[in-house]
Chains A and B, each alone.
Chain A
Amino acid sequence: MNEELRGTIKTGLIAGIVTLSLGMIGILVAFNERFIVTDVVTLADLLLFGMAVAAGYLAANSLKQSSVVSKLLHGGLAGVLTGMPTFLLILLARSWEDIRSSFINVGPDLLDIVTLNNANEIMGGILLMVVFGVLGLVGVGIALLPERFRRPIFMGLTWSVGSGVMSDILSGILRPRLSTDTLRSLFGNTGLQPVPFTVLFVVLTAVFFWWQQGGQTRYHALRQNLTPSQQKNTRRISISLLVIFLFILPSLLGVYLSEIFNEVGRFVLMGLGLNIAIGLAGLLDLGYVTNFAVGAYIMALLTSSSEFGLDNPWSFWLAVPICILAAMFTGFILALPVLKMRGDYLAIATLGFGEIIRVLARSDALKPVIGGAQGILQIPAAQIGGFLSQTLGYVLNPINSFLERFELGILATNNNGEIVFGNPPQLYYLFILASLLMLFISRRLNNSRTGRRWMAIREDEDVAAAMGINTTNAKVLAFTLSAASGGLAGAIFAAKLGSIFPSSFELLISINVLALIIVGGLGSIPGVIVGAFALVGIPQLLSEFAEFRLLLYGIALIVMMLVRPEGLWPSEVHRREIHREGDDETAVPVSVKP
Chain B
Amino acid sequence: MRRFSYIDLVLWLFRIGIIGVVLWGMTGKFILGVGNDYTISDWLDFFVSGLSQGSLYALIALGYTMVYGVLFMINFAHGEFFMAGAMTSTVLVALPLENAGYIERFPLLSLLAIFVSAVLTSVLVAVLTERIAYRPLRNAPRLVPLITAIGASFFWQYYFRGLFGSSLLPFPEFSVFDGKVAFWGLDFQKADIAVIVTSLLVMFGLQQFVQRTKTGRAIRAVAEDKDAATLMGIDVNRTITITFIVGASMAGVGGVLYSLVFRQLNFVMGFIPGIKAFTAAVLGGIGSIPGAALGGLFLGIIEAIGPPLFLEGLGVAGSHQLKDVIAFTMLVLVLIFRPQGIIGERLAEKKA
Q: Which residues of A contact B (CB under 8 A)?
A: 21, 24-27, 102-105, 282, 284, 286, 336-345, 347-349, 351-353, 355-356, 359-360, 362-365, 367, 472, 511, 514-515, 518, 548, 550-551, 553-558, 561-562, 565
Contacts and interface: CB of A to CB of B under 8 A. Distances in A.
Nearest to B319: A365
B179 interface: no
B317 interface: yes
A511 B74 CA distance: 16
Nearest to B129: A558
Contacts of A561: 137, 140, 144-145, 147-148, 151
B7 A511 contact: no
Given A349-B332, A365-B316, A337 B10 contact: yes
Given A24-B163, A339-B7, A349-B332, A550 B158 contact: yes
A558 B151 contact: yes
A348 B336 CA distance: 12
23 contacts: A25-B161, A25-B162, A102-B95, A104-B165, A105-B163, A284-B143, A284-B146, A336-B7, A339-B7, A340-B336, A341-B339, A345-B282, A347-B143, A349-B336, A356-B324, A356-B332, A359-B322, A363-B321, A365-B317, A515-B151, A551-B158, A554-B158, A556-B151
B142 interface: yes
Interface in B112-156: 132-133, 136-137, 140, 142-148, 150-156
A359 B318 CA distance: 12
Interface in B280-331: 282, 316-319, 321-322, 324-325, 328-329, 331
A341 B217 CA distance: 31
Interface of B: 5, 7, 10-11, 14, 73-74, 91-92, 95-96, 132-133, 136-137, 140, 142-148, 150-159, 161-165, 275, 278-279, 282, 316-319, 321-322, 324-325, 328-329, 331-332, 335-336, 339, 351
A342 B153 CA distance: 22
Contact of A24 (B151, B153, B162): B162
Contacts of B7: 336, 339, 472
A-side interface mostly: helix
B90 to A, nearest CB: 10
Nearest to A283: B143
A345 B151 CA distance: 18
Contacts, number: 163
Given A337-B10, A338-B336, A554-B152, 11 more contacts: A24-B163, A25-B163, A345-B282, A345-B335, A359-B321, A359-B325, A360-B325, A365-B318, A551-B158, A554-B153, A565-B140
A554 B151 contact: yes
Contacts of A347: 74, 143, 146
Nearest to B91: A102
B93 to A, nearest CB: 10
B256 to A, nearest CB: 17
Contacts of A553: 151, 154
Residue picked from A24, A102, A353, A514, most chain B C-beta under 10 Å: A102
Contacts of B161: 25
Residue picked from A25, A553, A558, most chain B C-beta under 10 Å: A558
B326 to A, nearest CB: 10
B322 A363 contact: yes
A359 B275 CA distance: 14
Contact of B164 (A21, A104, A336): A104
A129 to B, nearest CB: 23
Contact of A352 (B150, B317, B328): B328
B162 A26 contact: yes
Contacts of B5: 472
Contacts of B322: 359-360, 363, 365
Contacts of A365: 316-319, 321-322
B146 A102 contact: no
Nearest to A104: B165
A340 to B, nearest CB: 8
Nearest to B88: A102
B10 A355 contact: no
B142 A344 contact: yes
Contacts of A27: 162
A561 B151 CA distance: 10
**What are the nearest 8 A-B pairs in CB distance?**
A25-B162, A557-B151, A554-B155, A364-B318, A551-B158, A554-B154, A352-B328, A104-B165
Contacts of A25: 158-159, 161-163
Nearest to A25: B162
A565 to B, nearest CB: 7
Nearest to A346: B335
B158 A348 contact: no
A338 B7 CA distance: 10
Given A336-B11, A356-B329, A561-B137, A343 B143 contact: yes
B147 A518 contact: yes
Residue picked from A26, A282, A352, most chain B C-beta under 10 Å: A352
A27 to B, nearest CB: 7
B136 to A, nearest CB: 6
Contact of A565 (B144, B159, B328): B144
A501 to B, nearest CB: 16
B143 A359 contact: no
Contact of B74 (A344, A360, A565): A344
A367 B81 CA distance: 36
B148 A342 contact: no
B150 A341 contact: no
A336 B9 CA distance: 10
A521 to B, nearest CB: 13
Nearest to A367: B317
A336 B15 CA distance: 13
A558 B148 CA distance: 5
B143 A551 contact: no
Contacts of A343: 142-143, 146
B339 A345 contact: yes
A102 B167 CA distance: 12
Contacts of A351: 275
Residue picked from B146, B152, B156, most chain A C-beta under 10 Å: B146
A44 to B, nearest CB: 14
A528 to B, nearest CB: 16
Contacts of B329: 352, 356
A336 B318 contact: no
B150 A557 contact: yes
A142 to B, nearest CB: 25
Given A364-B317, A557-B151, A344 B143 contact: yes
A342 B339 CA distance: 10
